[in-house]
């Protein structure tokens, strides 16, 4: 159906620029979206989900222009699955009832097909035996998996996920990584869990101040921090961040290392911290 594309897309809320003009093309695979609070991540996700309209620019999903007329926007939405950061569940519904409600909203009109799809996504998130349980009786992690299930209905070409691993334990996070890694379309996930990015993503976008600061592969992001992370008995002078590790040595990100320190391989978190500390334009990679 073609890639997802933002062409010169921007978003303002009054005098606040949430997203500066941005051009990004997203093909198949898993793309991690990193950035501090207020960086514009949720705005980008809401724009791609068609929940809000851009101030300027054009967004195309599966060959349909979200920013076009009503018919194009409706067609685009058929190819999008969206998980917001907070999901409000209607009171009194079972897990099956909630998914049935969402599937009806997505215009699954044939009851037999709709129920088969609901069972499929419940099994994907390992809630197949809890379909008749009231949502109010599910644990926080189970409700989060149910919210993920509704985004998976119809195997969408574009899956837009805002902090999908919030509330999941390590085993559940690992299972979700396996699920998303097998998705045939494009997955764009916003996360503060840098280990999810390193374990799962083919590509990473870093947003800061409503601008794309980095767009490339995970190895490419790691390469920006080569030689700048050290482990030693004392913190490096002028380091961006330091902390004591379980070995008793201090890990320093950036700065000038002291005697007895050694260079270690950077993590995604290290590279992200250095990128955030660099002057705008210092480490930017054009889209």
The CATH code of the domain that includes 42 is 3.40.50.300
Question: What whole-number distance in Å separates Cα of residue 229 and Cα of residue 261?
Answer: 10
Number of structural domains the chain divides into: 3
pLDDT for position 287: 41
pLDDT range class, residue 283, cuts 50, 70, 90:
very low
Average pLDDT of 80-88? 91
Q: What is the mean pLDDT of residues 179-206?
A: 90
282 domain-assigned? no
User: What average pLDDT does this structure show over 154-174?
Assistant: 90
Give the residue with greater pLDDT, 85 vs 262: 262
47 lies in the same domain as 179: yes
Of 16-25, 169-178, 241-250, give the lowest mean pLDDT range.
Answer: 169-178
Give me the chain's average pLDDT, please: 91
Is 107 within the bounds of a domain? yes
In a domain, 68, yes or no: yes
> Do the beta carbons of residue 122 and residue 95 sit within 8 Å?
yes
Residues 187 and 58 reside in one and the same domain? yes
Q: Can you give the pLDDT at residue 286?
A: 45
Q: Is the pLDDT confidence value at 87 over 50?
A: yes
CA distance 82 to 4: 14
CB 71 within 8 A of CB 89: no
| Same domain (yes/no): 108, 196 | no
pLDDT in tens, 15-25: 999 999 999 99
Burial tier of 238 (Cβ tally within 10 Å: 0-12, 13-18, 19+): exposed
Beta bridge partners of 4: 26
- Asked whether residue 146 is domain-assigned, the answer is yes
- CA–CA distance, 222 with 168 (Å, rounded to integer): 26
Whether the model clears a pTM of 0.75, i.e. scores above it, the answer is yes
Asked if 181 and 241 sit in the same domain, the reply is no
Same domain, 206 and 232: no
In a domain, 228, yes or no: yes
- Interior/surface letters 192-218, b for 16+ CB within 10 angstroms, e for the rest: ebbebbbebbebbbbbbebbbbbbbeb
Asked if the model's pLDDT at residue 50 lies above 50, the reply is yes
Whether 285 shows a pLDDT value over 70: the answer reads: no
Q: Give the pLDDT confidence score for residue 1 in this predicted structure.
A: 63
Domain end position, chosen among 217, 242, 265: 217
Phi-psi bin for 101: left (phi > 0), alpha (psi -120 to 50), beta? alpha
pLDDT of residue 243 exceeding 90 = yes
pLDDT value of position 195: 87
Q: How confident is the model at residue 281 (pLDDT cuts 50, 70, 90)?
A: low
| Residues 54 and 191 placed together within one structural domain of the fold | yes
**Distance, CA of 122 to CA of 127 (rounded, Å):** 5
The answer to whether residue 244 sits within a structural domain is yes
159: closest CA among 128, 132, 183, 124? 183
Question: For residue 244, what is the enclosing H or E element?
Answer: strand 241-244
Question: Which residue intervals of the chain are DSSP H helices?
Answer: 41-49, 70-77, 95-105, 111-124, 140-152, 170-181, 194-200, 218-223, 268-277
Do residues 16 and 137 share a domain? no
Say what percent of the chain tops pLDDT 90. Answer: 72
- Residue 198 pLDDT more than 80? yes
Full domain range(s) for residue 128:
89-150
In a domain, 283, yes or no: no
> Contact at 8 Å (CB) between 72 and 25?
no
């Amino acid at each position: 159906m073609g890639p997802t594309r933002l062409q010169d897309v921007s978003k303002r809320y009054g005098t606040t620029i949430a997203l500066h003009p941005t051009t990004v093309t997203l093909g198949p695979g898993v793309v991690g979206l990193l950035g501090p609070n207020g960086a514009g991540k949720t705005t980008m996700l809401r724009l791609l989900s068609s929940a809000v309209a851009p101030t300027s620019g054009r967004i195309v999903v599966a060959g349909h222009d979200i920013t076009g007329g009503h018919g194009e926007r409706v067609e685009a939405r058929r190819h999008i699955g969206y998980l917001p950061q907070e999901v409000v569940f209607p009171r009194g519904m079972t897990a099956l009832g909630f998914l049935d409600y969402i599937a009806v909203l997505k215009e699954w009109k044939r009851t037999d097909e709709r129920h088969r799809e609901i069972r499929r996504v419940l099994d994907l998130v390992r809630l197949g035996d809890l379909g008749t349980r009231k949502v109010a009786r599910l644990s926080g992690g189970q409700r989060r998996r149910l919210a993920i299930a509704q985004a998976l209905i119809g195997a969408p070409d574009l899956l837009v996920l805002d902090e999908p691993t919030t509330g999941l334990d390590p085993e559940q996070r690992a299972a979700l990584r396996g699920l998303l890694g097998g998705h045939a379309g494009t997955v764009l996930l916003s996360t503060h869990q840098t280990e999810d990015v390193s374990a799962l993503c083919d590509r990473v976008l870093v947003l800061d101040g409503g601008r794309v600061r980095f767009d490339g592969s995970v190895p490419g992001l790691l390469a920006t921090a080569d030689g700048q992370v050290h482990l030693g008995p004392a913190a490096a002078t002028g380091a961006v961040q330091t902390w004591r590790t379980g070995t008793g040595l201090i890990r320093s990100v950036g700065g000038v290392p002291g005697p007895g320190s050694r260079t270690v391989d950077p993590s995604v978190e290290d590279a992200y911290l250095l990128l955030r500390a660099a002057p705008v334009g210092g480490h930017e990679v054009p889209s």
